[in-house]
A and B are shown apart, each in its own frame.
Chain A
């Protein structure tokens, strides 16, 4: 049984409880009073399928699949406008990231969601050396949608790249492995421990 099915079994129709138990800061969702200030404050709101207010309402209405497969929470750019303005002080940005993370865990992220893709590239890049290799990350982004597309984008940004090299903002040698954080072994230990803690937290909620 997949994690997703296990969760469906466990919480039946009470998606609010599921969110409360499993989503980071999900305990806050019940406190939303549906004023809509978050939706009105979101600079990218018009690109969202469901603005935050609606997401919260859908959670209460038990629209589990619609919420978790939505691209909405992936659209959040962490500008924190909603958090600042929420009269009930809900950490809306964090809830959106929490929902995205939960959807990812359950394997419900929509295919080719660009933010999700970027997040994965960033994470993989970061995990290798404990720091972001910007050259490699940039390259990976260029070629995210195929080789031909990558070359096209690279050529378009050629001048920018040359200038960055001239001013010492980009080192072409980084392509060969690149430098790591001081204690790479220690970094990996930290990450392993964090993963263990997260796994334990998830296990506590039963799936």
Chain B
């Protein structure tokens, strides 16, 4: 395509736009002010005929940059999919007519709103470029799976089944991981269809763990290469071209290239030595749930014997939540989610193999997630396992037997029971590397004191698993309790390192069935990442976006803000300390762009200018017109769709608001705010996603970064002698349909109260 830009504009008069607005006026704004002479109207632009009108212009070489003035950019995306040109969309339907009441008294301001959106779209399109991949892409279908447990094995098998070669690296000398010693597993399925409720019916029973079958399947697969006793000593590159050094105990190191990586390192059993109150370590007859599996395996179907003297166990007590769901130091604050069903299963070992054994499960809250969950609980009850709602406080060894002291929570009394064996249902500790930001905190610490504190935190950190050669640390960032940061609901498996996916208990505590399902999901994401990288396309949530950030080197001051603030660790530094953008690690959020104080970072289809020029294009009535202007910068992931839905729901918006979608609040440059205030906007509303621990930000840290930067915007306002209320930042969820519009209306009310900005020219 020639470099010459050919602009064309298309105004849709369908869906009531033609009736509610003066289309002639819109066209005149587009041609005279927007300077787009080639401007056409159509009564239904998204119809085959309307699309053909546009397509013909593009094919004839008459349009390289187009403006579509119709519905929201989130509507009719299939019809208006013109990937070979630069496109801007003026939102006249959801953005104007659906949010404004009908009637002559509103007509003037409503029309002005529409005119402004045309001006803004025309301004934006002039600064857009058609994104093209960088040309650095390569398709590498090979995946690296780190972790030889059930999660890792499943991941490898799933990838192989889909035709993708896998290298499976296990730390241990055999496959199976933490589950390798499992005697039986919690059943995967609920009772069969038709099994009635009630008692003494056909309910799920403990079943073969299936580990050996999995290992056999892996050994038989020609696409899977297994590395035992292996550590990843270095990982560099980006999705599509990762290079990892796999070092084995014998000293050999192989370097392989991968398209994507799955970290499935599972968990480590909680160290029960931290539970002296339950006599762990004082007597061998107090064991953890993990150790009991070994006893069961040794019994091999016969009666389980207690470790101290080999006597057949005649009474056993299970203590649930041992060292878990507790704020005591050294305890796990969370529920590991697998121990209830695990204890039910183990109690059933005794019922089946130790005739007449008294089997009591002391629980506080019995939680049985998973398909078989409730049925399996009933199964245990059928087998006459006694479930006692009670909280164990102490285990004492007394005369060849153990005494468990507990509070019965139903009968509300302190009591005790005797048992030959006590099983502690201990939890899962994620098997992860050090928190990369702990490492960064050492480098970034300004005072010696801070440095020492940060270093101390790092000293107790576990050894690295991935050894990433990234500017932002060696391993996957963590969120809570040391689990890998991977959104629980909205985008599971995604981590803050593009192309590296977390599967299984490294994300959150889970049982084997959930870990297997997790592995399937994460493997699918890894395959997508490898394929997307080959096309130069972004990963979640901007799949299909071919643009990537670039920077004007001569303007860069090497301040490093972009390299530090990128939520995905996508930016390294080269030898001369300039940022080095790794296109396929980039999620296209623009947080680097928002961070850059000298405004040198931009995307082909999103830049300081594409938004800044829209802000400038708005017609600014004078101070005495009683027509204020309110700028709303709305995150395209949640706030902007919430406003669209507000329009569909018939909410009303102030006619003085001008809404500009941004990729993420993290991409908002402070220059936009300053420019807007200087050019006479009376109020600015910034709407991003929920941030911090319960974040909903699609770019994880973008919203939080924006909040941090904007916390200082009050100073700017004071320097300009403006009221601080004029700029406000809000967290808006996609469900805040009424609220999203209300926040803007509130700003309009505030402006009415404090008066118009004096900066209008």
Residues of A within 8 A of B (CB): 14, 16-17, 27-28, 30-31, 33-34, 53-54, 57-58, 60-61, 63, 88-89
Contact = CB atoms under 8 A, between A and B. Distances in A.
Interface string B184-217: 0000000000000111100000000000000000
B220 interface: no
A31 B411 contact: no
Contacts of A54: 410-411
A27 B197 contact: no
From B358, B381, B388, name the one whose CB has the most chain A CB atoms within 10 angstroms.
Answer: B381
A61 B411 contact: yes
B262 interface: no
B381 A34 contact: no
Contact of A89 (B198, B387, B389, B408): B198
A34 B389 contact: yes
A27 B199 contact: yes
A57 B384 contact: no
Given A88-B378, A89-B197, A16 B389 contact: no
Nearest to B198: A89
B378 A31 contact: yes
Nearest to A36: B410
A58 to B, nearest CB: 7
B386 A31 contact: no
Contacts of A61: 388, 408, 411, 415
26 contacts: A14-B358, A17-B384, A27-B199, A27-B200, A28-B199, A30-B199, A30-B381, A30-B384, A31-B199, A31-B378, A31-B381, A33-B377, A33-B381, A34-B387, A34-B389, A53-B410, A57-B388, A57-B389, A57-B410, A58-B411, A60-B386, A60-B388, A61-B411, A63-B411, A88-B197, A88-B378
Range of interface residues on B (Cβ < 8 Å): 10 to 19
Nearest to B386: A60
Contacts, number: 45
Contact of B408 (A27, A28, A31, A57): A57
Interface in B387-429: 387-389, 408, 410-411, 415
A76 to B, nearest CB: 19
B146 to A, nearest CB: 40
B745 interface: no
Contacts of A33: 366, 377, 381, 387
Interface of B: 197-200, 358, 366, 377-378, 381-382, 384, 386-389, 408, 410-411, 415
A16 B384 contact: yes
Nearest to A63: B411
Contacts of B366: 33
Contacts of B197: 88-89
A57 B382 CA distance: 16
Nearest to B200: A27
A27 B415 CA distance: 26
Given A28-B199, A33-B377, A16 B410 contact: no
Contacts of A27: 199-200
A100 B382 CA distance: 24
Contacts of B200: 27
A85 to B, nearest CB: 14
A95 to B, nearest CB: 12
Contacts of B381: 30-31, 33
Nearest to B360: A60
A60 B387 CA distance: 8
A28 B381 CA distance: 10
Nearest to A56: B410
Nearest to A89: B197
Contacts of B386: 16, 30, 60
Given A53-B410, A57-B411, A61-B388, 14 more contacts: A14-B358, A30-B386, A31-B199, A31-B378, A31-B381, A33-B366, A33-B377, A34-B410, A54-B411, A57-B389, A58-B411, A61-B411, A61-B415, A88-B197
A88 B200 CA distance: 13
Contact of A31 (B358, B382, B388, B389): B382
